[in-house]
Structures are given as C-alpha cells and as structure tokens.
Homo-oligomer: A and B are copies of this chain.
Amino acid sequence: MFCGAQISLYPMCDRFVEVILQGLERVREIKQVRFETDDLSTCVIGPPYEVFQVAKNLFQGAAQTGVHVVMHALFSRGCPGEPDDPICTPCSPESPLATPELLDLRSLPLSNIVVAAQFSLYPLGSGTYMETIYRQIQEAKQEGTYSKGKHFVSRLDGDLEQVFGTVYNAFQRASSEVGHVVVHLTVSANSPTAKKST
C-alpha cells in the first residue's frame, strides 16, 4: 500500500521563495512522513492523516503571513503502479480500508483562517465510482463546508480546519469503498477577489 501527496504552494507575492521555504521548514518536524522537493512540488509519503497534516500546516503557515496564497495538492492512496512502502503501512494493511478513521468536524478547534477551496475525487477502477463521489458530496453537505457544485469540482468554504477535515474524510470514506483513490484539492486564502465580493 502506498499513500502520499504532491503538494505545491503558490504565494502571490515577490517574496514567494521565502514564504515557501519557511513553510517547508515548519512541516519537516512532522514524523512518519518522507519528503522530496523539486521545482514543481513537494512529494510527501506516509499515512493519510500525517500527509494531510503536512498539507494543512504548510498552507496555514503561508496563509498567516497575510499574502494571497493558493495550495494545490494531489492525494493518492493504493495506486497499483507505485511500490509498497513500510512508511505507509500504518494507514491500512488491506485494500480498500476496512475501517476508515474519520475526523469529527464538530470537535475540531477552529484556525480562524477563512479559506475557499475546490476538490475533485477519483475512485479508480470502479464501475460504481459516481455513486462513491455522490456519497462524499452528501457527507460534505452534512459537515457544513459544502458551498456549491461547479463543473468537475465541488466548492467548499469555511474555516481551514473544517475544510481540510471534509477533504480528509472524503478521501478516507472513498478509500473504504475503492482501493485506489485520488483527490485533487485547490485551497485559497487572502484573495482580493473574495474580499471584494463580501
């Protein structure tokens, strides 16, 4: 079983290098994951919870600088083209997940950072993948972060902790139905467009 992410951070400012490098320094303390960074993205390999923690903390640190920043992350679990890796095995010895560990959004502490996000979910090799997708949209609606459907993606709005919680839960729930699951997430903070429209 192989689990991980390709994460890219885009601070829309002249000092973008500083914001990215400071952010990466902050998340290197998270244990149980392995990092590989190049000019396009940072690959994070490890169990799903820790991989999502890296993504969330990286984005949170960048958003707290006040600059307009966007993160794009590809989360993947169970790709048959990837090698097995002991660092990932704590997330599940089986495929698909027998009992997905979920976050209870009502008990999550708020970050007080408002974010806008859109995500898409791809359960691969399954003939009933649309049902799996629709179930996650229903769950996101119940969790209160679902904002609206757009073409090809679902939009989420709310506190950073809540939005990442919904995406993590969708990834976990889909992984209990299908062995190979990919999620693409775009998350934005401090956008001047959002400020104008409120």
Interface residues of A, Cβ cutoff 8 Å to B: 2, 4-6, 8, 10-14, 16-17, 36, 38-41, 43, 45, 68, 70, 72, 74, 76, 79-82, 116-118, 120, 122, 124-127, 129-130, 133-134, 150-153, 155, 182, 184, 186, 188, 191-194, 197
Contact = CB atoms under 8 A, between A and B. Distances in A.
A74 B152 contact: yes
Contacts of A127: 125, 127
Contact of A40 (B2, B118, B134): B118
Q: Among the interface residues A38, A127, A130, which one has the most CB atoms of the partner chain B within 10 A?
A: A38
A152 B41 CA distance: 12
Nearest to A195: B39
A83 B79 CA distance: 30
Contacts of A12: 10-14, 16
A151 B6 contact: yes
A36 B122 CA distance: 23
Contacts of A197: 39
Contacts of A152: 4-6, 43, 74, 76, 79, 82, 182
Given A10-B10, A68-B16, A130 B41 contact: no
Nearest to A39: B193
Given A39-B193, A184-B184, A191-B39, A13 B14 contact: yes
20 contacts: A5-B152, A6-B151, A12-B14, A39-B116, A39-B193, A41-B186, A43-B151, A74-B152, A74-B184, A76-B151, A76-B152, A79-B152, A120-B182, A122-B122, A124-B129, A125-B126, A125-B127, A127-B127, A152-B182, A184-B184
Given A10-B10, A41-B186, A186-B41, A151 B4 contact: yes
B116 A40 contact: yes
